[in-house]
Amino acid sequence: MSVLVVAEHNNSELNAMTLSAVSAASQLGDSDIHLLVAGENCGDVAKQAAAVAGVTKVFHAESAGLAHAIGENVAATVGSIAGDYSHILATATASGKNWMPRLAAQLDVQQISDITAVESADTFVRPIYAGNAMATVQSSDATKLITVRSTSFEAAADTGGSASVESVDAAGDFAGTQFVSEEVGESDRPDLVSAKVVVSGGRGMGSEENFKILEPLAEKLGAAIGASRAAVDAGYAPNELQVGQTGKVVAPDVYIAFGISGAIQHLAGMKESKVIVAVNTDEDAPIFQVASYGLVMDLFDVIPQLQEAL
Amino acid sequence: MKVLVPVKRVIDYNVKIRVKSDQSGVETENVKMAMNPFDEVAIEEALRMREAGVATEVVAVSIGTDKSQETLRTALAMGADEAMLIQTDADVEPLGVAKLLHKAVEKVGPEVVILGKQAIDDDSNQTGQMLAAMLDWPQGTFASKAEFSDGKVALSRETDDGIETLNLSLPAVITTDLRLNEPRYPNLPNIMKAKKKPLEVIQADSMGVDFASRLTVLKVEEPAEREPGVILGSVDELIDKLRNVEKVIS
């Protein structure tokens, strides 16, 4: 039995979430784990992939059509080597969520999205209803296609492996879909999904300008910055910071929520954090029900005090 | 051009769901139901296309029990021109839904299918991409902006890093993110008018598609509860807890 894990990367670095997917793959039983690195000028990523502990082979596909992980082209390329794999795994990221269902339909497979646990080679746990229920599902498909929630699996070691790297052809360049441009938020701070500390702002931040007062605090804590949907909808923060059911799922050591009321859709994205701190002037805000520590205080008083004391 | 908008009846997003005591699923009896919020955004976008002269007709389609007619009436009250219920009492998984929608596309003949990126009940985020694969059409997922011209759509989509813009040739499938637009509320005259709009009911079993489930739900459980927390009196107390008790900051 062999398992294929499709790497998430930016053509220069392997995304750490891939390491969690490898770890999920290793729980499927005695199986060879292969990694596919598909992109453009992504040879360095293939080298990093070969060093991941537990990986026995790396496939490396190069094409201009894969440079921006266009879903149509990634699905076709993975499909071309899908062959006899018992399982194909990807990260439950915007990219994995985009291409994997396309491949699943091409293979006539009912994909299993966003797994949080492996019970056996055909049985998995996944959250439904924004994580307010956990479903254990058993698949009858010959090939299992799975996206993995990275915060639920320890990362595999990124050293110690010595897999061989084999080039494979990229399949197709889907004519109907063309990349135009990308606006990427620039930040020197840690990646939101893998950060140990996250400071997050909600509607209570009041404005885009006020939202920026989280930056020096995040700097001091070595934290990533997150946001609630309300803050993103209001234009206080860009979409890539959104934490929740339809945004990113995070589980840092400590999540500090400023001016976030705690709608279930937001809690879905952060309630697995080890320690949750809530700062809100409304003592009835639902965020306090999941908070380890609460301050019923004005965030505009709390942030400068924290800043001072740290 | 026609636009097809698949919509799903789900538990209202404000309802706190309850897991059944026999672990067979989530309680849906006597619970407030509503259109999946992402699908409301899809209907709204299709209506705006019609109002801008890009589209000529908006057709809403749903797969589900007879009760899904209510959801389709909501779509009609918002402004959709016609509706189609693909009736089944079975729980249909995304793959089966996409197969049935594939048939609906052949029947209706749209140039654009717009639907929510995920349904807030099973949170799968699969149906649009699967339908696009079956049709061999381009897919524009997680859309926050769509501009149509000359048989193409310039589609901005929300990614983990920011916003990406793609150019898709029509016909295409688009899945909506919540920031694409703000859906309108149906007003009373339109709710009355919607009762007279055409709503066709087709039996899913008659469509020549195998939509049997591939996944067996073994159990559905409540998530682990968090330990109750404490309200602190000062920032100093908080820092003490984080630094000396939890040891999560230095």
- Domain edges within chain B: 2-225
Please tell me the predicted confidence (pLDDT) of residue A84. 87
Can you tell me the distance from the alpha carbon of B237 to that of B235, in angstroms, rounded to the nearest whole number?
5
Distances (CA, A) of B63 to A244, A300, B7, B60, B86: 27, 49, 8, 11, 5
Percent of chain A with pLDDT over 70: 100
CB pair distance less than 8 Å for B123 and A233: no
Cα-only R_g, chain B: 21
Residue A172's pLDDT band, with cuts at 50, 70 and 90, is: confident
Q: Could you tell me what percent of chain B has a pLDDT over 90?
A: 97
Inter-chain contact A174–B138, Cβ cutoff 8 Å?
A: yes
The answer on pLDDT for B250 being more than 90 is: no
Contacts of A304 in chain B (CB under 8 A): none
Neighbour tally for A128: CB within 10 Å: 24
pLDDT at A122: 97
Residue of chain A minimizing CA distance to B127: A101
| pTM, two decimal places | 0.96
Q: Given a cut of 90, is residue A181 above it in pLDDT?
A: yes
Q: Which residue has the tokens 């016609």?
A: B82
Quickly state the pLDDT bin for B226 (edges 50, 70, 90): confident
Note which residues in 28-57 of chain A have CB less than 8 A from chain B. Answer: none
pLDDT at B225: 85
A-B Cβ pairs (cutoff 8 Å, strict): 245
From the options 3.90.120.10, 2.40.30.10, 3.40.50.620, 3.40.190.10, give the CATH code of B2-225. Answer: 3.40.50.620
Interchain pair B231, A97: CB under 8 A: no
In chain A, residues with a C-beta closer than 8 Å to the C-beta of B230 are: 292-294
Look up residue A2 and give its two tokens. Answer: 């062999």
A101: contact with B, CB 8 A cutoff: yes
According to DSSP, the β-strands at B152-158 and B162-169 are antiparallel
Tokens 């813009």 locate to: B165
Work out whether strand A123-128 and strand A133-139 pair parallel, antiparallel, or are unpaired.
antiparallel
Chain A positions touching B229 (Cβ under 8 A) are: 276, 288, 290-294
Question: Distance from B235 to chain A by nearest Cα, in Å?
Answer: 7
Strand partners, B63: B86
Spatial neighbors of B91 by CB under 8 A, at least 6 apart, are B213
Please give the structure tokens belonging to residue A303: 């942030």
**Quick one: pLDDT at residue B227?**
85
Neighbours of B245 (CB within 10 A): 11
Q: Decide if B52 contacts B31 (C-beta within 8 A).
A: no
B193 CA to chain A: closest CA distance, Å?
32
For range B230-244, the mean pLDDT:
95
Query: In chain B, what percentage of residues exceed pLDDT 70?
Result: 100
Nearest-neighbour CA in chain A from B160: distance (Å): 5
Taking the CA of residue B89 and the nearest CA in chain A, the distance in Å comes to: 19
Please give the DSSP secondary-structure letter assigned to residue A248: B
Helices in A71-226 by DSSP H: which ranges? 71-82, 94-106, 208-211, 214-221
| Cβ within 8 Å, pair B162-A129 | no
Nearest by CB to residue A112, choosing from B120, B215, B242, is B215
Q: How far is CA A227 from CA A95, A150, A224, A240, B125, in A?
A: 21, 19, 10, 9, 22
Helix or strand run (H / E) with residue A277: strand A275-279
**pLDDT band at residue B102, thresholds of 50, 70 and 90?**
very high
Query: How far is it, in rounded angstroms, from Cα B35 to Cα B33?
Result: 7
Spatial distance between the Cα atoms of A46 and A36, rounded to a whole number of angstroms: 8
CA distance B122 to chain A (A): 5
Q: What is the ipTM of this complex?
A: 0.96
